[in-house]
Amino acid sequence: MMRSPRVGPRLGLVTVLAVVFACAAAWGSPAAFAKTKITVYLREEIPVEYEWEKKVIADFEKKNPDIDVEIITEAGSDYGSKLTTLFATGNPPDVWDHGGPVNTYLYDGWLLDLAPFIKRDAEEIDVNDFLPGAWNAYRDGDKQWGIPFVSIGSFFWYNADALEQAGLKTPSPDWDDTSWTWTRLQEYARKLTVGKPDGTIDRAGLAIIHWSYLDIQYSWAFGGDWFDSASWRTGVVNRPTFDTPANRQAYQTAVDMLYGQKTAITFETTTGDYSSSMYPTRQFTDGRVPMAVGEGPWLVLGHESEIKFRWGMAPFPRGGSASTYTSMVYTDPWMIYRHTKNPEAAWKFVKYITSAEVMKDYVNIANFAPARRSALVAYVQKLSRFSRFHSAAEILTALAGSQKYGRESLDHVIVGWPDFFQEIQGRMPGIWGNTRAVSTVLKEIDEAVTKLVQKKFGAKK
């Protein structure tokens, strides 16, 4: 039987092509590549942020099919404590953020210097797009220990409707206008406070917000500090400076407003239960207390349905010998573990999540300001629309001033902050609760911190 001379070659060609296409398909399939895995530590505590981060990670994996991101969370425990446990048990994440004691991480040898990656990928990173203060927060000479993601200061907030009705001039958002002082604030609080016949407060004029490391903001406002300049320069505490005239004046001023003049409220005079309607920040957002000092924009953002008044923001007032304003600035960076087995994959992820594209998307759910200028525009507009009092230019002036005159949050700077925190915060309630003299508490903290400094750094200094 004769065969067509073309049948064999055709079948052969078909077979060969089938094999070639099959191989090409296999080679082109993401599953055919050996994936690089990195672990990223996230915080579940704020659900809207956590869900957004998971979405960003999913998008990153689609765009980088050769990288598999494993998510680790605090799973109901404290974020910082869980991170410490991960390192202590030999299971550190490749990447993490949310600020925390960053300089302590560096001191303990956890952080990878990102400067070589930044230099190589300079065009993608676009350093000039970052807020200068935010970028420099984790810059140490020619080294870079993190890429900033959010950066925001602390402010004074007011109900513009209430101030205008009382005939009070609203303070300027301009940090170069230094007329907003604690003396003026005390006058405003007296005029806005409504008392009862029995001497208690029906409506306080001011909510004094304090917590943890924010307590130092009151010291700074009066020209004081908790540590000497050498401590801030290196991050390693050299000498505590709690028991000083400036600090005594700062905290005594607040105590007098709370318990003497009775024109202000705080957690110790109301409640520390956030779910309660008596919680100080809730009394501001629902219009009962017309002024609040100490918080960032999270005081108002997320409370759009509660706030029925026009609100404004101004610098944290200055007092005592302070000639300028100051602000606590919270700059949270994304960091990479120094000994990660996959530095390129980890860097690719950090580069992506701190990109302008991603930060602009973050603004949709953000209470904190993004660290990039290009993303800040939408954030400013968002605040301005909600304020109904400030223009976008005025909001930008307020935010820019906090960056210009602000100081990075002390938990980010002071090495071993968690240990110092225990010594300080175990005693500060005596001041805020007016159960002990301001000078006595500050002296005790000075002595306790001095002992801790010798214990922690005595042999290394």
Last residue within a domain, chosen from 385, 402, 429: 385
Tens digit of each residue's pLDDT, the chain (461 residues): 333 333 333 334 344 334 434 444 444 444 456 799 999 999 999 999 999 999 999 999 999 999 999 999 998 899 999 999 999 999 999 999 988 999 999 999 999 999 999 999 999 999 999 999 999 999 999 999 999 999 999 999 999 999 999 999 999 999 999 999 999 999 999 999 998 888 888 999 999 999 988 999 999 999 999 999 999 999 999 999 999 999 999 999 999 999 999 999 999 999 999 999 999 999 999 999 999 999 999 999 999 999 999 999 999 999 999 999 999 999 999 999 999 999 999 999 999 999 999 999 999 999 999 999 999 999 999 999 999 999 999 999 999 999 999 999 999 999 999 999 999 999 999 999 999 999 999 999 999 999 999 999 985 55
Supply the DSSP string of 35-66, one letter for each residue: -EEEEEEE--SSHHHHHHHHHHHHHHHHH-TT
Does 11 reside within a domain? no
Work out how many domains the chain is built from and give that number.
2
Q: What is the pLDDT of residue 459?
A: 55
For residue 257, the 8-state DSSP code is: I
Statement to judge: residues 90 and 233 lie in one domain: no
Half-sphere exposure (Cβ direction) of 228: Cα atoms closer than 13 Å:
10
Looking at the DSSP bridge assignments, the partners of residue 334 are: 147
Structure tokens at 339: 């000994």
Note whether 366 and 246 are same-domain residues: no
Distance CA 393, CA 417 (A): 37
Structure tokens at 118: 């930044």
The backbone torsions φ and ψ at residue 335, rounded to the nearest 5 degrees and listed phi first, read -125, 155
Residue 196 has a pLDDT of 87
Backbone angles phi, psi at 278, to 5 degrees: -90, -5
What is the per-residue pLDDT for 188? 99
44 and 354 Cβ atoms separated by less than 8 Å:
no
**Domain region containing 215:** 156-329+387-457
Do residues 233 and 374 share a domain?
A: no
Are residues 269 and 303 part of one domain? Answer: yes
Which residue, of 339, 363, 385, is where some domain finishes?
385
Whether residues 263 and 412 fall in one domain: yes
Distance in angstroms between the alpha carbons of the first and the last residue of the chain = 99
Tell me the C-alpha distance between 347 and 353, whole Å. 10
SS3 154: coil
CA distance linking residue 424 with residue 442, whole number of Å: 9
Token pair for 123: 């065009």
Separation between Cα atoms, residue 447 and residue 451, nearest integer Å? 6
Do 67 and 108 share a domain, yes or no? yes
**CA gap 446, 452 in Å, rounded:** 10
Is 27 inside a domain boundary? no
Whether residue 178 sits in one domain with residue 137: no
Q: Are residues 245 and 309 in the same domain?
A: yes
CATH code (residue 102)? 3.40.190.10
CA distance 174 to 163: 18
Token pair recorded at residue 407: 């100081």
62 falls within a domain? yes
Q: Judge whether 168 lies within some domain.
A: yes
Do residues 123 and 213 both lie within one domain? Answer: no
CA distance 152 to 174: 16
313 and 259 in a common domain:
yes
Return the residue matching tokens 């917590």.
Answer: 211
Provide the H-helix boundaries in 366-437. 373-387, 392-405, 410-413, 417-425, 429-432
pLDDT given at position 33: 61
Is 353 inside any structural domain?
yes
Q: Is residue 161 part of a domain?
A: yes
Q: Same domain, yes or no, for 260 and 292?
A: yes
User: Does 24 fall in a domain?
Assistant: no
Same domain, 258 and 163: yes
The letter for the amino acid at 376 is: L
Q: Are 94 and 325 in contact (CB under 8 A)?
A: no
| Final residue before a domain boundary, out of 367, 385, 403 | 385
Residue of 350, 357, 362 whose CA lies nearest to 48: 362
pTM, whole model, 2 decimals? 0.90
Q: What is the CA radius of gyration of the chain?
A: 27
| pLDDT (0 to 100) of residue 300 | 98
- Structural domain includes residue 22: no
8-state DSSP, 32:
G
